[in-house]
Structures are given as C-alpha cells and as structure tokens.
Amino acid sequence: MQDKWQLATKVIHAGHEKNETGALVSPLCQSATFVFDNAEQGGARFSGDEHGYIYTRLGNPTTAELERKIAALEGSEAAAATASGMAAVSAALLANLKSGDHLVASNAVYGCTFSLMNSLLSKFGIEVSLVNFNDRAAIIAAIRPTTKVIFCETPVNPHLDVYDLNMIASIAKQRDLISIVDNTFMTPLLQQPIKHGIDIVVHSATKYLNGHGDVIAGLICASDEQMQVIKYEVLKDIGSVLSPHDAWLILRGLKTLDVRIARHCENAEKVALFLEQHPKIAKVYYPGLKSHAGHALLGGQMRRAGGVIAFELVAGYEQSLQFINQLSLFSIAVSLGDAESLIQHPASMTHSPYTKEQRELAGITDNLLRISVGLESAEDIIQALADGLARL
C-alpha cells in the first residue's frame, strides 16, 4: 500500500509502525544502549544471527523510523541518518573511495564539501578533479582509470546551476562509477535522483527536511548493498550517527514538508520574478525563470524550482555587504529551508574555503547573494527587498 501512496501521504505515514502503547506520535527512544534477555542473545545480535538493537550508534528505533521514511520518499532500498549533512557526504565518499582512487566532482559545490575534497581527501591519497557538469565532454575527459566516484549537487549551491541527472547517471553506468548527488535544495518532494539512475543520494536534513532551524543532521539513501558498507564499515567506526532526539524532531518536521515546500516554491517564484525585473539586479539565478538554463528540466527532472534564489547586484563587494546589513525582515544566516527568510554572501561565508581564482571558475562573484525564501507573506518579502534595493 505504501508504494502506491503519493509523496504528500508518505511524508506523514511512510516508515511508521504501530507501537505497543498505541501513541499516535512515534515515541522517542532516548536510550544509548539496549538490554539483552541473556548473554546468548547479546552474542547472537553482535554476530548478526538475530535482529535487534544493541547500541544507538549501531541503530535505534526512532532513527530507524526516520531512515525508513526517507528511503520511501527517495525510492531507495535503504537509508542512514547521520550527525550532519557533511557526515552524510563524507560517509558516502569514504565508503566508495580508498587511497589511489580518483573522484570527479562539479566545480561548484557547498564550501565544506569543497574543503573536504580539496584538502582532506588528499591526505588519504585520493585525487579530485573539479569540472563543469553542464559539459558532458568535460566530465568524460576528467575520468581516469582510477576514477571510482562522480559527485555533484543539483541545483548547485550557491548559484543554482542545474545538471542533467539522466546524463550523469548514464556516464557513471557506462564507466562503472558510483554516482552521488546532493539533493538538499530539492528534497525528494521536488526531485528523486535515484529514479534517474543515480546510485546514492545525500541530504543535509538540517534544511528543508527538518524545516525549523533547530537540528543538525544528514541522510544517505542507497541500495541495501551500499548501505551495509556505509553503516557498518564507515558510520559505525567513525561514529557520526544521528541522535534519537534529533531524529524525532526531523520526523515531526517531515509531517509538514509537503505544505512547507509548496509555500517556499510559491514565494520564491514571486520573488524571483520581482528581482529579474529590477534595474539594480544584474542577474537572477533561479530555475523557475524561463531565462535560466536549467528551466527545461522543470516538469521532468524537477517538479518545481525550490525556495533558494541567488542574484547579483549592480554593485561591488562593499555595497553588497551594505545591502545585506540594512535589509529588514531577512535574517543574515547561512542555512536554508527554515520558516524565516535568510540571506548570505557566499564568497565570504559558505564558500570562503574557495580561493578567489577557484570562486571565479565556479561562477561565485563578489556581488552574488543567496536567499532562502521563507514562509512569510510573499508581499512582505518583496517589500523588504524593494526597500533595501531603493537604499542601495
């Protein structure tokens, strides 16, 4: 029955199992360890001969429900909850890379993902090539005999480039590579990469999935085979697992994901149109606009364009910061997907790990701003931007 449900129903009901108390809301199992009936049962669980909970780092009923739910939403066989979005990215990569291997990734990614690839992986003898993922030939040219993984975000943080998932999946399958996509900006309600042939999907659940700005979390969706390695050869020993309380908060947040995403999208579409027509805006990056190169993928790969917009002011670096500082209604913060509208300056904030030259290659200019359009009245959001632009 659950397979036939629409996504709006799955965000509420998928993964939930009736509990012994009959509580409508899933109980929070806030326990670090679990008691065995006898020593033999403990040994059987550790050996894998018997299913059951041992220790929350290895599994927890509350976390397991969240994992079942996100797997149902993404259309994957299994899922793993992690302590942060970066824990999800790291675990997915480390499960599939070893010393001497090579990774091909898009040249624009979240700043900490870039830092992981550009600095940390090299310490373990893993090489990384960053290329434009809108260029099929460039991706293929970057692949080496040692390449094992291909990674991207779409839409891209921060400038909302959109990559063709069918194209990326086809390259990966032809070359026997593992494909990984960060789906944070879209959520499974707007995009399901696995249905386009992608092997692994990661999320920062801190963002839209939780939606209330009070949790740091990540999620990984993949096949059962992949998940055995991710959970029991990486997460188990690194220990970057999600706490039951945070899993419970995300389960609560997911119940409103469908209605929240609809409002985020509606507001963002109105805001993007306003910005595109304003004389003090040099360029707007939003896939919902017909002027955006990725607009053609709407209705196929993406159901809607999401709630994040990037734009370049007709201004320099200092004026861009002044615009942010004087803006009303918006909070200056680097996350996204919260009820509140947020604004940030990628070059000096989220993407500061990039050098100036690397930012230029990735298309991240000094006058580029990124906003996460919140759930407030669209009219009030637009008025706040209009007032700020008038003072610019």
d(CA 112, CA 81) in angstroms, rounded, equals: 19
User: How far apart, in whole angstroms, are the C-alpha atoms of residue 126 and residue 60?
Assistant: 33
Give pLDDT, residue 19.
Answer: 86
Give tens-digit pLDDT for 291-323: 999 999 999 999 999 999 999 999 999 999 999
Query: What is the average pLDDT value for the chain, to the nearest integer?
Result: 96
- Confidence (pLDDT) at 296: 94
Q: Is the pLDDT of residue 109 over 90?
A: yes
Quickly state the pLDDT bin for 1 (edges 50, 70, 90).
Answer: low
Active-site hit among 10, 69, 207, 231: 207
Instruction: Establish whether 110 is a catalytic residue.
Output: yes
pLDDT tops 80 at residue 57: yes
Q: Is the pLDDT of residue 173 over 90?
A: yes
Q: Is 57 a catalytic residue?
A: yes
Residue 269 structure tokens: 């579409």
SS3 of residue 336 by DSSP = coil
pLDDT at 138: 97
% of residues, the chain, pLDDT over 70: 100
d(C-alpha 115, C-alpha 285), whole Å: 24
Q: Which two tokens stand for residue 316?
A: 């320099």
Exactly one of 10, 69, 110, 231 is catalytic; which is it? 110
Contact (CB, 8 A) for 214 and 243 = no
- 276 with 289: CB under 8 angstroms? yes
pLDDT in tens, 5-54: 999 999 999 999 888 888 999 999 999 999 999 999 999 999 999 999 99
Q: Give, as one character, the DSSP assignment of residue 91.
A: H
Mean pLDDT of the 64-86 span: 98
**Residue 202, strand partner residues:** 182, 220
Tokens matching residue 129: 């090539």
Domains of the chain: 2-254 (3.40.640.10), 257-391 (3.90.1150.10)
Tell me: pLDDT of 264 over 70: yes
Is the sign of the CA dihedral 41, 26, 238, 125 positive or negative? positive
User: CA-based angle 103:107:108, to the nearest 5?
Assistant: 120
Cα 236 from Cα 232, distance rounded (Å)? 5
Per the annotation, the verdict on 135 as an active-site residue is no
- Could you confirm whether 207 is annotated as catalytic? yes
The pair of three-digit structure tokens given for residue 347, joined into one six-digit string: 């070059």
Annotated catalytic residue, options 161, 164, 182, 199: 182
- Per residue in 323-381, pLDDT (tens digit) is 999 999 999 999 999 999 999 999 999 999 999 998 988 889 999 999 999 999 999 99
> pLDDT at position 361, please?
85
In this structure, what are the phi and psi dihedrals at residue 326, rounded to the nearest 5 degrees? -95, 0
- Is residue 195 predicted with pLDDT exceeding 60? yes
Residue from 57, 236, 255, 283 carrying the catalytic annotation: 57
**Does position 229 have pLDDT exceeding 90, yes or no?**
yes
